[in-house]
Amino acid sequence: MLLRVRNLVLKEFILLFRDWLMTAFILTLPVLQLVLLARATGSRMAGRGVAVLDFSHSRASRQLVAALDVRRELNVCCYPVTLMDSHRLLERGEATLVVLIPAEFTVDIDAVARTPSVQLIVDASNRVPASNALASAREAIADFAADLAAERGLAIRPPVELRTTVRFNPTFNVKFFTVPAQVGFIVYQVTLVVASIGLARERELGTLEQLMVMPLSRVELVVGKAIPALLIGAVDFLLMLSVAVFGFHIPIRGSLWLLLALTLLFIVAQIGYGVLISGIARTQQQAILFVFVLAMVDMTFSGYLVEVEQLPVVLRAIAQVVPFHHYLTIIRGVMLKGVGMDALWSHAAAMLLIGLFVGTVAVRNLSHSLD
Amino acid sequence: MSIRRLIAVAHKEFRHIVRDARTFFLVTIAPAFLLVTLSYVFSFDVGRVDMAIRDMDGTPLSREFVASLTADGDFAVVAYVQGDAEIDRLFARDVADLVLVIPYGFADAVGAGTSAEVQCIVDGADAITASQAVGLLQGRVDAFGASLHARGTGGAARGFDVVSRAWYNETLESLVSMVPGMMAIILCMPALALALALTREKETGSFENLIVAPVRGTEYLVGKLLAYAISGTGSAILAWLVATLWFRVPFRGGFLAFLLLTADYLVASMGLSSVIANFVSNQQSAMFLILMVFFVPSFFISGLIIPVADEPIARAIACILPATHFITICRGVFLKGLGPVALWKSACILLCVGFAAQIISLGLFEKKLR
């Protein structure tokens, strides 16, 4: 049996390396993509454009504008004259936030009985930057008000002060979150693509029938197809892990061996899905489009974009059968939090069960697929 | 170029799409299906912060403090912890986003008029969520402090009255901003299908039949493009119906403008995918290239979730990616009610990218055996 599987694996590798372009893609593109995405998501976000509609034209209003402009997230870019102008700026996306300072601003500051007011209008068509800009502006205005009070000797310490300690990532470095997730996602894509195409290509080119009449059992066929995908995924993972560690200085605080072992488990579970797709699809085009759909669904349920804990019970249950969801918890746990098997065993067990189940279905499904 | 031959090629390609139920589903219905799954998940993204409490004070005031933080549901208390070891375990298992520690003597310090200190320990592994959670908590703590002042200690520093309004998406809902953005991602599928259709002919050998057939290269390429552009527009309409009828995302622009700009996007994205298809000879490589250079960047650096980064390379790539512009267009048409005139910049870039890519792919295309 070993010999037969070995021959099949050899054949797969010859096929793969004969197409040198494909080999180059598989080895270089994931690394390039990781570098690009890490730089894109980890670098400082450009400050959101702020338009100031200043009806007050006073020293205080200019100080307020300066207080907004020094914030990293905000970038005062234009001074429209009318409300219509500022409307147009929001419409065209040239400004995300409009700060409206009313004419009676200074009067309100000087009068003890009155509260100065500032109006903020935000372009909420993209929610995340909108709420960030809003929060940042509110904070800047509150600080400005506190400074102003301090200047007039009104300062008192707040009754409750908050002191923050950030664990695992003291500088709030976004790369710490995105780079491990991207490593996981790219390994996910590569293994799924390689595994899902294998059988579909044989079927489309008519060579599956030849394989079927060969003295190969179904299990051997699936294993032979899975091994190249496993090796490619593992090599890509090692390449990207070294880029993450040496290029982007992401720490590995837990055990490297544990990470490698669980990554292999993840790749195996993922290959199970790949082979299943490969068995269902009639042509490579179908296999690829299936992969595309699966990749998007998996990404949504992975906890990368939306926290899984926020979902209702039914959707949280779906997330449990997505290996990528478990793997994301694992890679983040091992790399950033340095946790061991005692915290991760449930995720590892879940991946093992998924892999076994899907793999069995894939092998069983193969017999029905040649008709 | 003969229209009759063009239509013949397009017709053949249509047969390919319709013949097999699976391909038909994947090309026309899958985009709408994806929109439903993806957006449904985003509709639950309310930005709730899961908080664990370590209340060492245990006084009525400390309980009142916790209650004031959780009153409107932005913060949910998931656990009460006793010791530091438990905090580690909570973070290791991802149970809580942050832990609030109320020290001994909290109520006494507040009563005495001195400043009481509470500590917040946040899980920085997810930096974006963590910084948002801390910002939100700071606001709540300040509000609690202000309410204490109002109750009698007096002498409160007067803050400013900040009134804010969110335009185009009044309640700052994720769903409203994600659904139009997602349109760009799911409508990558026709482009992917086109690249596969082009490479399939080479791989299965049917391309040799086409070489001897009386069809010009241009007719062949445009014919394929036509078939997938039409089915792509069909799936765009389906996705539009899902967005407006199912998710009730406001649609403030014109439907015709939407269709026109969608066609613009399809031409641009298909142009790029046919250039890619030119360089590779099998479907696996085509798929791999499209996933890596097209789809994943569209998701992460086009401004769908986080704005385009302040990084020259990322900016340049974002500018070439059709998805960046189509996301702007979709949000403009859906939420801001803009038409092609106001969106001319994005529309023109798409048109330029589309035409340039089509010309390059026609120039590279050789109707002969290698």
Q: What is the CATH number of the domain that holds B56?
A: 3.40.1710.10
- Per DSSP, the residues of B96-128 read -SEEEEE-TTHHHHHHTTSPEEEEEEEETTSHH
CA distance B337 to A91: 9
End-to-end CA distance of chain B: 24
CA B334 from chain centre, in angstroms, equals: 15
In chain A, where are the structural domains located? 7-41+171-369, 48-151
Q: Which domain holds residue B137?
A: 49-153
Please count the residue pairs, one from chain A and one from chain B, whose beta carbons lie less than 8 angstroms apart.
375
pLDDT category at A251 given cuts 50, 70, 90 is confident
Q: Which helix (H) or strand (E) holds A237?
A: helix A218-242
Average pLDDT over residues B134-146: 81
Last residue of a domain, one of B120, B153, B186: B153
Per-residue confidence (pLDDT) for residue A154, from 0 to 100: 64
Would B322 be classed as within a structural domain?
yes
Q: How many domains does chain B have?
A: 2
| Contacting residues for B295 by C-beta, under 8 A, at least 6 apart | A292, B185, B188, B192
Residue B154 confidence (pLDDT) above 50: no
pLDDT at A192: 86
Spatial distance between the Cα atoms of A105 and A117, rounded to a whole number of angstroms: 7
Question: In which band, very low, low, confident or very high, does the pLDDT at A266 lie, cut at 50, 70 and 90?
Answer: very high
A177 and B166 within 8 Å at the Cβ level: the answer is no
Query: Residue A286 and residue B22: Cβ atoms within 8 Å?
Result: yes
Within 8 A of A169 by CB-CB distance, chain B residues are 124-125, 127, 130
pTM of the model: 0.79
Nearest CA in chain A to B49: A310
Note whether residue B236 is domain-resident.
Answer: yes
Q: For chain B, percent helix, then strand, then coil, each to nearest 5?
A: 65, 10, 25
Residues B254 and B321 in one domain: yes
* Contact flag B125-A336 (C-beta cutoff 8 Å): yes
Residue B27 sits in the same domain as residue B144: no
Q: How near does any CA of chain A get to the CA of B314, in Å?
A: 5
CA distance B137 to chain A (A): 9
pLDDT at B159: 64
- Would the CB atoms of A156 and B301 count as touching at under 8 Å? no
Confidence (pLDDT) at A95: 86
Q: A188: which 2 tokens?
A: 């996910």
Q: Can you spell out the DSSP letters for B194-232?
A: HHHHHHHHHHHSHHHHHHHSS--HHHHHHHHHHHHHHHH
Same domain, B328 and B215: yes
The verdict on B242 and B281 lying in the same domain is yes
* 3-class DSSP state of A183: helix
B62 within 8 A of B111, measured Cβ to Cβ: no
Any idea what the Cα angle at residue A36 is, between residues A30 and A38, rounded to 5°? 100
Region at B303 (left for phi over 0; alpha for psi -120 to 50; beta for the rest): left
N- to C-terminal Cα separation, chain A: 26
Residues A301 and A352: their CA atoms lie apart, in Å, by 18
B209-248 pLDDT, tens digit each: 877 777 787 888 888 888 888 888 988 999 999 899 988 8
Determine the Cα–Cα distance for residues B31 and B183; give it in Å rounded to an integer: 8
Is B102 inside any structural domain? yes
A48-151: CATH topology is abc type-2 transporter like fold (3.40.1710)
Q: Give the integer Cα–Cα distance in Å for A156 and A153.
A: 9
Mean pLDDT of A109-128: 82
The average pLDDT across A332-339 equals: 86
Last residue of a domain, one of B153, B182, B210: B153
Element (H, E) at B161: strand B161-167
Say if B261 is an interface residue toward chain A (CB within 8 Å): no
Evaluate whether residue B93 is within a structural domain: yes
Q: Is residue B294 a contact partner of residue B191, using CB atoms and an 8 Å limit?
A: yes
Kindly state the tokens that stand for A329: 């918890």
pLDDT at A290: 82
Residues in B closer than 8 angstroms to A37, CB to CB, are 296-297, 300-301
Tell me which DSSP letter residue A309 carries: G
Look at residue B307 in the predicted model and tell me its pLDDT: 67
For residues B217 and B104, state if they share a domain: no
Assigned domain for B281 exists: yes
Backbone angles phi, psi at A303, to 5 degrees: 90, 5
Grade residue B46 by pLDDT with cuts at 50, 70 and 90: low
Residue where a domain terminates, one of B153, B181, B215: B153
Flag if A306 and B44 touch (Cβ within 8 Å): yes
Choice among A54-58, A150-154, A345-349, B4-8 with the minimum mean pLDDT: A150-154
* Residue B164 placed within a domain: no
Q: Which pLDDT value is given to residue B351?
A: 92
The ipTM assigned to this model is 0.74
Say if residue B330 is in the same domain as residue B222.
yes
Are both B138 and B235 inside the same structural domain?
Answer: no
